[in-house]
Chain A
């Protein structure tokens, strides 16, 4: 009831402010930012009461208050708050990297690589096949020759196989899960992120040879290679600086955490390297080299500063979901989303056996890999630049697939963590209690 009162109060105040505001403009972004923190968080808590992950609530708040529904958060506000999303992605990447442990990587690196490889390969094939089968109905494939159909299908599939480190990290932060399933899922998601960028670059290079578009060329491929290859040493160098700070200064970790992420973002933009990969490496190196429990202290400071940013990040992601568009293309989105889920399921089963991962873990890990978000949008933009004619339709289709996967994926991952008995954070229910309660059907 309290959440409803907060939402009504917030909506009432926003309405009154819009009425009384003399000219508007200055302060609007800040107002919307504050509104989203409070409103999306409240909806997130309502979602929690319904046994759904909080981020589903944040996404729902974005959809409801966004430009496509109540329009409390207008389209220009979504654009103005883009730096918040950038900051969130940087924080997520750093936190994700910091979660990786050198010892665990050495011990389980090969197993994770096998699992990731199998999962990505099977999913790629599944999506590719569905697209080829449905080619007459898919806007960016209809009426094209076989070479183009196969090329564009491969390009789309190479993007659609990517996962979402953001949703994974948000769920891990929300539930406090740190068990084997949580760690395996995180490892696969992060590893897949790197592999997907490499796969995508390779497919794009091949596509340029098979279906010349007249835009870009070898330069684009070289720049993609630099984006990936350059991110690793630069991220490592920044990680060394962070570790040095933790060793010698140790003060004001909260401010330092924000500065590091801002700095990392700007550096990656300036040097044109992959932000996510660079900051994952930064987080990993900093955590590995940090003395004592200072790495843990920095991570804690980051999580605290990230909390409101995460809320707004997912709410903004929700605000970008165009429900009307989704309704138009759903007959195509559903088979593609189902093929992706089936591919992930089959791939992880196969990979788990190959990697000799415990059966219980192997049975549940697919549920943590369904979610999808920002990286895919970045890659489809690159594909759109390479093929302007097909790129628009590809983007529309992919955004609709993401909208489904982002929501369903979060629900599935939480369910998997509950089933594995790894939900032990302060905000979460005890595993045994959680398992005893009836769970909502996924989706």
Chain B
């Protein structure tokens, strides 16, 4: 059977399955759809059954690359500043600290592993370690949306999870974007290659240009077709430019999303249009990402297991430390970090982004770690969050979600009813 046709059929069948089976599973068992596509891709790919050849997968690479930029834009769209400033700073402090603890902790652990197992220098091991750190930082975006749909945003724990998941994505994306700027190959056409800082500026500029093009293109019109063309054209152009320059398309995508959500009057329509295309692209990324998985001959099992263990430890520990230092432990509970153990699209996107880099060290190990983590945690990510909500001390004593009210500023010890302003 023609492999392209096979892939089209698979996407269709997988999509129908997701609609029928996983909607039911999601409603009744809180299982998030996603990992099954990845598994299907692995089973069909050259590494397992070989039903889908590496050659035919190459035809889908532009779609996978586009998925990266598109997903970045979706993350950026969640950073609506007028909405963000309404939340108390303590939410962000907790989110940032837990995120950075995971990033630094997993990077350090990965550095030690690479040096210990493969005997490479720190310079050589730093880039893959940082990318692993960035992957480890990310949490499941779909799961938190799932929980919000069921419980609403009124619970402090849910709100904290939402902020933490968003912050995780931002820190993960920025980290990988910056790392790829430092790890950039020289441009032979120029007398002097751009410095890492200059690459960072170029990366940011692409996001800004994407946003500008969208606005210039759309003008004052609100026609949905025109909006879709403007949005699609700007994201495709920006993603193509970033990939062509061997930069991460996720970072400019995110910056573009931030610009769009904060400067456009049509943010609801934009979000809707983005979401409509993101899902099929995400399925393609999962399926083809799974099929592309090839661990290679190097000893990948120990680093991957080490990554999973380190991530689990630093996520839980980082979340506990962050809550303790910000006086949120009585509200969130000591193990609320378990809610952030689930991983989904962004982690896989970062892994794939690194895999497609020309100048990458240990790309297969990094990608395998991302694939393994998503496979193990994505399906249960919403359940992990639900457990964390149920297990939070406040939830157990009051028996219902904490109602967040607009009250006076937070004092030295944050009060439960005063964590949201406005």
Name A residues whose Cβ lies closer than 8 Å to a Cβ of B: 2, 5-6, 9-10, 13, 17, 19-24, 26-35, 37-38, 41-42, 83, 249, 251-252, 254-255, 258-259, 262-263, 266-267, 269-270, 303-304, 307-308, 311, 426-427
For A2, the chain B residues whose CB sits under 8 A away are 216, 219
> Given the known A-B contacts A6-B213, A24-B244, are A19 and B190 also in contact in the complex, defined by CB atoms under 8 Å?
yes
Q: Is there an interface contact between B358 and A23, defined as CB atoms closer than 8 Å?
A: yes
**B181: Cβ under 8 A from any A Cβ:** no
**B228: Cβ under 8 A from any A Cβ:** yes
Q: Give the contacts of B1-50 with A (CB-CB under 8 A).
A: 2, 4-5, 8-9, 11-12, 15-16, 19
Name the contact of B184 in the complex, choosing from A22, A251, A308, A426 (C-beta under 8 A). Answer: A22
Q: Is there an interface contact between A33 and B240, defined as CB atoms closer than 8 Å?
A: yes
For B242, the chain A residues whose CB sits under 8 A away are 27
Q: Is there an interface contact between A38 and B5, defined as CB atoms closer than 8 Å?
A: no
Q: Give the contacts of B205-248 with A (CB-CB under 8 A).
A: 209, 212-213, 216-217, 219, 223-225, 228-229, 232-246
Name the contact of B245 in the complex, choosing from A10, A20, A270, A307 (C-beta under 8 A). Answer: A20
Q: Is there an interface contact between B12 and A259, defined as CB atoms closer than 8 Å?
A: yes
Name the contact of A5 in the complex, choosing from B216, B224, B235, B240 (C-beta under 8 A). Answer: B216
- Could you tell me the distance between the alpha carbons of A307 and B236 in the complex, rounded to whole angstroms? 14
> Given the known A-B contacts A9-B213, A19-B189, A22-B186, are A38 and B234 also in contact in the complex, defined by CB atoms under 8 Å?
yes
10 pairs of residues in contact across A and B, judged by CB atoms under 8 Å: A9-B213, A19-B189, A20-B194, A22-B188, A30-B240, A37-B233, A259-B8, A263-B8, A308-B232, A311-B229
- Could you tell me the distance between the alpha carbons of A303 and B223 in the complex, rounded to whole angstroms? 14
- Could you tell me the distance between the alpha carbons of A243 and B63 in the complex, rounded to whole angstroms? 28
Q: Is there an interface contact between A249 and B213, defined as CB atoms closer than 8 Å?
A: no
For B241, the chain A residues whose CB sits under 8 A away are 13, 17, 27, 31, 34
Q: Is there an interface contact between A29 and B240, defined as CB atoms closer than 8 Å?
A: yes
Q: Is there an interface contact between B234 and A263, defined as CB atoms closer than 8 Å?
A: no
> Given the known A-B contacts A2-B219, A6-B217, are A37 and B237 also in contact in the complex, defined by CB atoms under 8 Å?
yes
Q: How many pairs of residues, A versus B, come closer than 8 Å at their CB atoms? A: 149
For A426, the chain B residues whose CB sits under 8 A away are 223
Closest CB of chain B to A49's CB: distance in Å? 13
**B202: Cβ under 8 A from any A Cβ:** yes
For B19, the chain A residues whose CB sits under 8 A away are 249, 251-252
Name the contact of B216 in the complex, choosing from A6, A20, A249, A270 (C-beta under 8 A). Answer: A6
> Given the known A-B contacts A2-B216, A10-B213, are A37 and B232 also in contact in the complex, defined by CB atoms under 8 Å?
yes
For A255, the chain B residues whose CB sits under 8 A away are 15, 276, 279-280
Interface string of B390-405 (1 = CB under 8 A from A): 0000000000000000
Name B residues whose Cβ lies closer than 8 Å to a Cβ of A: 2, 4-5, 8-9, 11-12, 15-16, 19, 59, 61-62, 65-66, 184-190, 194, 202, 209, 212-213, 216-217, 219, 223-225, 228-229, 232-246, 276-277, 279-280, 356, 358
Residue of A nearest to B61 (CB): A26
For B276, the chain A residues whose CB sits under 8 A away are 254-255
> Given the known A-B contacts A30-B239, A34-B238, are A258 and B280 also in contact in the complex, defined by CB atoms under 8 Å?
yes
Interface centre among B19, B62, B65, B186 (most CB of A within 10 A): B62
Q: Is there an interface contact between B15 and A252, defined as CB atoms closer than 8 Å?
A: yes
Q: Is there an interface contact between B225 and A307, defined as CB atoms closer than 8 Å?
A: yes
Interface centre among B185, B188, B276 (most CB of A within 10 A): B276
For B59, the chain A residues whose CB sits under 8 A away are 83
- Could you tell me the distance between the alpha carbons of A308 and B66 in the complex, rounded to whole angstroms? 15
- Could you tell me the distance between the alpha carbons of A21 and B277 in the complex, rounded to whole angstroms? 28
For B188, the chain A residues whose CB sits under 8 A away are 22-23
- Could you tell me the distance between the alpha carbons of A266 and B2 in the complex, rounded to whole angstroms? 8
Interface centre among B234, B235, B244, B280 (most CB of A within 10 A): B244
For A30, the chain B residues whose CB sits under 8 A away are 62, 65-66, 236, 239-240, 243-244
Closest CB of chain B to A44's CB: distance in Å? 10
For B190, the chain A residues whose CB sits under 8 A away are 19-20
Q: Is there an interface contact between B229 and A307, defined as CB atoms closer than 8 Å?
A: yes
- Could you tell me the distance between the alpha carbons of A2 and B217 in the complex, rounded to whole angstroms? 8
- Could you tell me the distance between the alpha carbons of A426 and B224 in the complex, rounded to whole angstroms? 11
For A13, the chain B residues whose CB sits under 8 A away are 209, 237, 241
Closest CB of chain A to B272's CB: distance in Å? 11
Closest CB of chain A to B260's CB: distance in Å? 15
- Could you tell me the distance between the alpha carbons of A34 and B194 in the complex, rounded to whole angstroms? 25
Name the contact of B236 in the complex, choosing from A9, A34, A41 (C-beta under 8 A). Answer: A34
Q: Is there an interface contact between A17 and B245, defined as CB atoms closer than 8 Å?
A: yes
Name the contact of A270 in the complex, choosing from B2, B185, B239 (C-beta under 8 A). Answer: B2
Residue of A nearest to B3 (CB): A266
- Could you tell me the distance between the alpha carbons of A22 and B358 in the complex, rounded to whole angstroms? 11
- Could you tell me the distance between the alpha carbons of A345 and B209 in the complex, rounded to whole angstroms? 49
